[in-house]
Structures are given as C-alpha cells and as structure tokens.
Amino acid sequence: MNNLEKNYRTNIETMETKNSLIKDFERSFYSKTSMYAFLVTAFLFLTMWIGTGQFAKVDLMLAGYMVASFIFAIGITVRMASWLIRPATSQMVKRSIKNFLTKKRTKRNVLAILKTLVDNIILQKFIFKRGIYRGVQHWLIAWGCIGSFAITFALTFGWMHFKLIDATTYQIMVFNLPTIKMQANGFLAEMIYNGLNITALMLLVGIIMALVRRIHNHDLKVTERAEFDLLPLYILLAVTVSGLFLTVSYKFLGGFIHPQLSLIHQITVVLFLIYFPFGKLFHLPIRPLATAVPMNYQEEPMVDTRSCKKCGTKYSSDDQISDVKSILHAQQFDLKLEDGTYLADYCTSCRRRIRVMSQLNLGSVKGNPYGPVQTNNGIHIPGFGRKRSDEFYNESTREEK
C-alpha cells in the first residue's frame, strides 16, 4: 500500500468518525429543531459571557428584556426550522447552497446578493411599486423594528456598553473591546443615546400611517383579520408610545412616574418579543432569503433558458424547472404525462392546451391548434389563441407604425 492510498483511507476514516460524532450529538436531542434551539441559546450565552466580561457587567435592570430575548431567539429558531422543513423552502435552500459554492457563479452570486440587499432590504422597492404611501409606511416600520432590535439586543446581551474615560469622554466597548471615543455632549453621542427614540419615532409615524390606511381603505376591511393584521400594529404602538413616554418623563417631567412607566414599557416589550416569532411579523427575518430568486433562477436577467417540449418557446430556467419537479415529487404531485414528460416541461400556453384536451378526452389538438377545436361530440369550442406575428416583437417596426 503506497502513501496515497494510506492518506485516502485516513481521510475516509476521519470523515466517518466526524459523521458518527455528529449523529451521536443529534441523537442526544429530541429533534433537530431542539438541537438548533440549544445551539442558538448556547451561542447567545457565549457572546453575552464575552461582552459582559464573564458576566461582570450584567445590567439587572434589563433582566426582563434578557429573558424575553432568549424566548424570542428560541421561538425564531423553532419557526425558522419548521419553515425550512417545507419541501419548497428546503429545495430552495439546497439550490442556494449548491450555487453559492460554485466558483464560476461567484460574480453572479455576489451581484445578486448586493442587488437584493439594496433593492429589497435597504430601499424596499418591492413595496414602493404598490404605492408611495405604502412604501414609506412599510420602510418606516421595517427599519424602525430593525434599528430597535439591534440596539435592544446589543444592550441586553452586553454586546455593547459605554466606558467612561474621563469627565467628558466615553468609549464604546463592543464585545468588551474598545472602539471609538466620543465627547459626552457631542453630536455622535446624542445620536447614539437617542437611537431608540429615533427608531421609536420612525415606528410611530409608520404605525399611524398603517392604521389610517386600514381605517379608510374599504378593500382592506374585507380581507383583514384583527388577530393577524391589527394585533401586531397595536402591540408595536404600545411598545413605541410607552418607550417615548419614558423619555418625556425623565427629560421634561423630572422623572414623574418613571418607575411605573418603565415597568409598563418592559411588559409591552416582553409581550412583543414573545409574540414576534408566531405572528405576522415573522416575515421580517425571512425576507432576506428573497436573494435566492435572482441568484438561483436567472441565468441572465430577464432571459429564459428552458425550452418548451412542445412548441420550443423558452419559458423558464433549467434550475427552476428541476426544482419544481423535485418539490412536486416530494409532495406526491409528479404530474407525469403518458409520454414520460412532466407538465412542468411545457410552457404556460401548452400546459393549458394539454389540460383542456385531457378534459375533452383528446390526446392532442387536431388541425390548427389556434383555430376552433373539434370535439368528439361534434361541438366546436374556441381555440387557444392566435400566434402574434414576428412584427409584434420587433420594436423598431412597432415604433414605425
């Protein structure tokens, strides 16, 4: 046995040992979901241990927020794991991982992620397409929530705190590491100290806009559900208003009923964090996964690569059709035809023809497929539409006309 074979066998044995250890670790939990929840909780405890200097700088005033934040993290993990088990989501994640690790797609992947980050997360163009009012409303609520979460979790878990350097200078400590210094009365300090007030004002304006829209839009009144559509807004409104009252109390009223307001605010935040993973607001953490669409299912922007089995028209991408077949197979909806092909192998027009002809007990369209269809009982039915001439797709010809 040469050295190459020995190294190969050693690598195989090492991989088998690792796989065995991983499986043994998984078997020690009731389910994979419970394992993921444990790992997330352990990670948060570890980062908190680092950020607070081995729990030496834990703020006991934030104890309620801390417990609620752990419940929030466990709830998000459970919901995310349940969501990822679904056949469609699972297949999308598998495809994303495979394409992300493909070197020849690196440039495309980076561009897709950056484009989705800017368009869907930062600017949220997908909402502005439905109207300026809805866009502004959604942007304020989304970024108000994101900013509030970032500040709350950073302070609650001790990831960030402020260290007094001298009488007029503070230093921001991130994971117990010194970062930037700032003047106690400077502009940067005021912006950081009032970070939660700024995000709260963003939320307040966005929530009021959302409630006004739901009050005056009669179409929404027909479809909205109080427990699903309105309850999140009411909880957010309670959190926002109680938090702003705290600021008003200690800045303008000399601390009037500040302890009571602090308790009320803490209760509303705890309720919000516990509710978040199980209500409508759960769409916030899964929205970034929209990156998978341009990254996986467009070989080139607005260009299809998959040809219809019947008419040859390009109607989708190869990856997308392959994933559709896998998802339908997992759900026991293969939609396999007699000739061995699948309904997903055909464009929308041809699928419509296949379904209609199947309902008429006819194998295929007789004669002109775009003219009237001859049925078995002699009754004529309209055709499937008429092909547009080549001139229709010629922009220069259309402009001349």
Which residues is 183 bridged to in the sheet?
169
HSE on the CB side for 154, CA within 13 Å? Answer: 17
Tens of pLDDT, residues 243-267: 999 999 988 888 889 899 999 999 9
Instruction: Please determine, for residue 99, whether its predicted confidence score (pLDDT) is greater than 90.
Output: no
The pLDDT of 173-201, averaged and rounded, is 89
Q: Which residue has tokens 């699972």?
A: 90
Which are the contacts of 91, defined by CB distance < 8 A and separation ≥ 6?
Answer: 323, 326, 327, 330
What is the pLDDT averaged over residues 145-157? 92
Given pLDDT bands bounded at 50, 70 and 90, which one contains residue 168?
A: confident
**Phi, then psi, of 349 in degrees rounded to 5:** -65, -45
pLDDT surpasses 90 at 69: yes
Question: In the predicted model, what is the mean pLDDT of residues 71-77?
Answer: 93
Phi, psi of 300 (to 5 degrees): -135, 145
> Model confidence over 273-298: pLDDT tens digits?
999 999 888 888 887 777 777 777 76
Return mean pLDDT, the chain. Answer: 82
Side-chain-facing half-sphere of 283: CA atoms under 13 Å: 10
> For residue 187, what are the contacts with CB-CB under 8 A and spacing of at least 6?
none
What is the four-CA torsion angle of 347, 352, 354, 357, rounded to 10 degrees? -160
Contact indicator for 158, 174 with CB cutoff of 8 Å: no
Give the mean pLDDT of 268-272: 93
Task: Write the pLDDT tens digit of every residue in 297-312.
Answer: 765 655 667 888 888 8
| Model pLDDT, residue 150 | 92
pLDDT digits (tens, 9 = 90+) for 341-389: 888 888 888 888 888 777 766 665 555 555 555 555 555 555 555 454 4
Which helix H or strand E contains 249, and what residues bound it?
Answer: helix 231-252
Q: Does the pLDDT value for residue 23 go beyond 90?
A: no
What is the residue whose two structure tokens read 């008419």? 311
Whole-angstrom Cα distance, residue 252 to residue 256?
9
CA distance 192 to 195: 5
The single-letter DSSP state of residue 382 is -
- Residue 367: the pLDDT is 55
Please compute the mean of the pLDDT values over residues 308-335 and round it to a whole number: 83
Structure tokens at 37: 């929840």
Question: Could you write out the DSSP letters of every residue in 36-104?
Answer: HHHHHHHHHHHHHHHHTTTTTT--GGGHHHHHHHHHHHHHHHHHHHHHHHSHHHHHHHHHHHHHHT-GG
The whole-number pLDDT of residue 200 equals 94
Give yes or no for residue 391 having a pLDDT over 90. Answer: no
**236 or 120, which is more confident?**
236
In terms of phi and psi (left: phi > 0; alpha: psi -120 to 50; beta: otherwise), the region of 373 is beta
pLDDT reported for residue 322? 86
The answer, yes or no, to whether residue 399 has pLDDT greater than 50, is no
Alpha-carbon distance 84 to 43, whole Å?
Answer: 21
Query: What's the token pair of residue 360?
Result: 């008429």
**pLDDT reported for residue 208:** 95
- The set of residues, in sequence order, having a beta carbon less than 8 Å from that of 182 and lying 6+ positions away, is 169, 170, 171, 172, 188, 189, 192
